[in-house]
C-alpha cells in the first residue's frame, strides 16, 4: 500500500533535553521519519511542548513510566502516510509500569519500540532482564503465529557479538555483554528473527549506537551497538536500507533508520 516507508528508532535519553538542545528539530528536518520509535522519553505528555504532543503532521503516542523522569517510550506516525493507527502497550504477564513496550498496528504489521532493561541494579534486576528477553520472544512468536508481521526495534541493552562492541575482551562478562544475555539474543535469531544490520553487513565493524559520556568515548568511537531493528526472515527481502545515524547528536545513543519498500 505505502512505498518506501522510513522507520527510525532512537533512545533520546530525555526528550525534553534533546528538544532544548535543538537536536529534535534538526533530526526531524533532516530525516522526517514515517514511523518514529522513541525510548527513554523520561517525561509524561503533560510535561512536553505542543510540538512533541500535538504535531500537525504526526499522531503521537506516549507510554510513560509511573516513576517520574524515568524510562518510557513513544511512537509517532505520520498522518499523510497512514490512516489513524491503533496503539498498544506492554505484553502478556508483564507489568509494564516502566513504559518499556510501545506498539502500533498498521494493517497487518505490528511494530514495536522497546526499551529493554539494563539489569545492572541488582541480582533481581539481572534475572528480570533475562526473563524480559524470554517473555518478549514468546510474545512476538505468538503474534507471528497468529498471522501478524512483526517489526521490533529499540535499545536492546546488549551487544550480541564481539563485532558489536569496541572492546570485547575488557567487557566480557559485564552487563551489556554478558554470555547469558547474548544467548537470549541468539535465541531470537534461532527463532527466525533477523538482526537487520548484521544480516545486511555481516563483517562491518566499528559501527555503534551508544557511547559513554566519559573519556570522549564518542569522538574516539569507543562504543557499543545496543540499538537494533529485527524483522521476520520472510520480511527481510523488503528491507531497502539500514543505517546508524552517528552524526545525530542530542543523546548518548544515535538513531537507527530502516527503510522498507512497503507496509
Q: Which of 34, 155, 227, 252 is catalytic?
A: 155
Q: What is the pLDDT of residue 3?
A: 79
> End-to-end alpha-carbon separation of the chain, Å?
6
Residues with Cβ within 8 Å of residue 146, at least 6 apart in sequence: none
Q: Is the pLDDT of residue 205 over 80?
A: yes
Find, among 93, 43, 53, the residue nearest to 75 by Cα: 53
Q: Strand 86-89 and strand 101-106: pairing? A: antiparallel
Q: What is the pLDDT of residue 184?
A: 98
CATH of the domain at 168: 3.60.10.10
- Per the DSSP assignment, residues forming a β-bridge with 207 are none
Q: What is the pLDDT of residue 215?
A: 87
Q: Are 193 and 140 in contact (CB under 8 A)?
A: yes
Mean of pLDDT values over 3-11: 96
Interval 114-168: pLDDT, tens: 999 999 999 999 999 999 999 999 999 999 999 999 999 999 999 999 999 999 9
Mean of pLDDT values over 217-239: 98
Q: What is the pTM of this model?
A: 0.97
Tally of structural domains, the chain: 1
Active site (annotated) includes residue 155 = yes
Interval 74-111: pLDDT, tens: 999 999 999 999 999 999 999 999 999 999 999 999 99
Give the residue numbers spanning the domain of 138: 3-262
Q: What is the pLDDT of residue 14?
A: 98
Q: Are 156 and 227 in contact (CB under 8 A)?
A: yes
Q: What is the pLDDT of residue 262?
A: 87
Mean of pLDDT values over 18-31: 98
Mean of pLDDT values over 37-59: 97
Amino acid at each position: 500500500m505505502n512505498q518506501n516507508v522510513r522507520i527510525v528508532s532512537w533512545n533520546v535519553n530525555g526528550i525534553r533535553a534533546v528538544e532544548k538542545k535543538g537536536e529534535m528539530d534538526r533530526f526531524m528536518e533532516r530525516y522526517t521519519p514515517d514511523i518514529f520509535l522513541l525510548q527513554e522519553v523520561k517525561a509524561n505528555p503533560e510535561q512536553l511542548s505542543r510540538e512533541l504532543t500535538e504535531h500537525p503532521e504526526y499522531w503521537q503516542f506516549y507510554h510513560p513510566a509511573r516513576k517520574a523522569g524515568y524510562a518510557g517510550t513513544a511512537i509517532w506516525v505520520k498522518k499523510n502516510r497512514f490512516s489513524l493507527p491503533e496503539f498498544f502497550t506492554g505484553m502478556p504477564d508483564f507489568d509494564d509500569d516502566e513504559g518499556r513496550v510501545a506498539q502500533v498496528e498498521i494493517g497487518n504489521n505490528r511494530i514495536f519500540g522497546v526499551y529493554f532493561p539494563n539489569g545492572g541494579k541488582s541480582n533481581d534486576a539481572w534475572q528480570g532482564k533475562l526473563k524480559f528477553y524470554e517473555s518478549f520472544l514468546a510474545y512476538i512468536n505468538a503474534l507471528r503465529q497468529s498471522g501478524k508481521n512483526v517489526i521490533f526495534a529499540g535499545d536492546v541493552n546488549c551487544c550480541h557479538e564481539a563485532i558489536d562492541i569496541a572492546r570485547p575482551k575488557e567487557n566480557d562478562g559485564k552487563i551489556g555483554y554478558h554470555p547469558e544475555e547474548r544467548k537470549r539474543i541468539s535465541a531470537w535469531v534461532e527463532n527466525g528473527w533477523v538482526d537487520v544490520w548484521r544480516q545486511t553487513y555481516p563483517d562491518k565493524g566499528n559501527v555503534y549506537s551508544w557511547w559513554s559520556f566519559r573519556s570522549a568515548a564518542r569522538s574516539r568511537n569507543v562504543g557499543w551497538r545496543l540499538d537494533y531493528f529485527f524483522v521476520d526472515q520472510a520480511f527481510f527481502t523488503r528491507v531497502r536500507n539500514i543505517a546508524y545515524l552517528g552524526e545525530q547528536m542530542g543523546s548518548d545513543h544515535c538513531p537507527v533508520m530502516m527503510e522498507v519498500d512497503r507496509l
